[in-house]
């Protein structure tokens, strides 16, 4: 899609970024439906309809697990929605990467729900229930490995989507600010992917009884991403 100055003028601007994909494409509609289905799977998998008050109270204890799982899925949906609005790409490579995101999200639902359920159970001292039983450190390592692999492939897909946008910067007529912000997203998703890769590597190579410690690497982006954002805000000020 080759834009001109005249066509760009027709698009709205949000936070300094021209929204080239305000009108929804067929692949975006499909991906939205897939994300909605993933959330539906999450809801259905939480528990059956309570038959009495005791079961109702037990079902309510599953709310923290649902909120954490829902929030993570929505974070990926919002990231893809933002990318679609900003670039509006529907070429074969972008479509393939989007379909990759959809496939991973639909697979990601189960390890996500299980690890969030067990995490809530563990940190609440057993007060919050979990339907998932872990009987050995090796089993925890396997769960962390599955969770990290899903996170790695999602990070790679989102990195690829933003690199694709950069590759099409001439056709999209991206200005300097838009290029800088796209590079920021590449840095953020690359950091998330790097942390997931380290987690996968440790879970795979270490003794199964201690491999779950690789999961701690997934918290590294919580420290590095704010630093990346601050760095790019300074670059924006210098650019202006």
- Look at residue 106 in the predicted model and tell me its pLDDT: 92
Domain for residue 217, yes or no?
yes
β-sheet bridge partners, residue 17: 14
- SS3 state of residue 77: helix
Residue 93 in domain: yes
Whether 118 is covered by a domain: the verdict is yes
* Residue 4 belongs to some domain of the structure: no
Asked, for residue 220, whether it belongs to a domain, the answer is yes
Domain membership flag for residue 1 = no
Query: Cα separation of 144 and 238, whole Å?
Result: 41
- Work out the pLDDT band at 178, boundaries 50, 70, 90: very high
Query: pLDDT digits over 194-210, tens only?
Result: 999 999 999 999 998 99
Give the global pTM: 0.90
In a domain, 216, yes or no: yes
Separation between Cα atoms, residue 95 and residue 157, nearest integer Å: 11
Q: What is the pLDDT of residues 33-53, one digit of tens each?
A: 999 999 888 876 545 677 888
Query: What are 13's strand-pairing partners?
Result: 18
Give the chain's domain count.
1
Asked, for residue 6, whether it belongs to a domain, the answer is no
Measure the CA–CA gap between 137 and 145, rounded to whole angstroms.
12
pLDDT, position 81? 93
| Banded model confidence at residue 1, pLDDT cuts 50, 70, 90 | low
59-66 average pLDDT score: 85
Q: Residue 141: which domain range?
A: 15-239
Indicate left, alpha or beta for 175 from its phi (over 0: left) and psi (-120 to 50: alpha). Answer: beta
């Amino acid at each position: 899609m080759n834009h001109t100055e005249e066509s760009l003028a027709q698009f709205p601007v949000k936070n300094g970024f021209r929204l080239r994909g305000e009108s929804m494409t067929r692949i975006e509609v499909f991906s939205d439906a897939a994300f909605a289905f993933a959330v539906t799977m999450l809801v259905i998998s939480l528990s059956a309809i309570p038959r009495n008050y005791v079961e109702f109270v037990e079902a309510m204890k599953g709310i923290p697990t649902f909120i954490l799982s829902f929030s993570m899925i929505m974070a990926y949906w919002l990231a893809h929605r933002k990318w679609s609005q900003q670039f509006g790409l529907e070429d074969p490579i972008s479509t393939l990467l989007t379909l990759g995101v959809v496939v991973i999200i639909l697979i990601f639902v189960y390890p996500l729900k299980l690890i969030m359920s067990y995490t809530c159970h563990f940190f609440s001292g057993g007060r919050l229930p979990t339907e998932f039983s872990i009987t050995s450190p090796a089993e925890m390592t396997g769960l962390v490995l599955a969770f990290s692999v899903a996170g790695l492939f999602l990070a790679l897909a989102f990195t690829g989507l933003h690199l694709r946008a950069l590759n099409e910067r001439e056709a999209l007529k991206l200005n300097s600010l838009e290029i800088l912000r796209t590079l920021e997203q590449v840095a953020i998703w690359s950091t998330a992917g790097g942390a997931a890769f380290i987690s996968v590597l440790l879970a795979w190579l270490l003794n199964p009884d201690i491999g779950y410690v690789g999961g701690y690497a997934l918290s590294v982006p919580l420290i590095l991403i704010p630093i990346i954002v601050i760095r790019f805000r300074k670059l924006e000020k210098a650019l202006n």
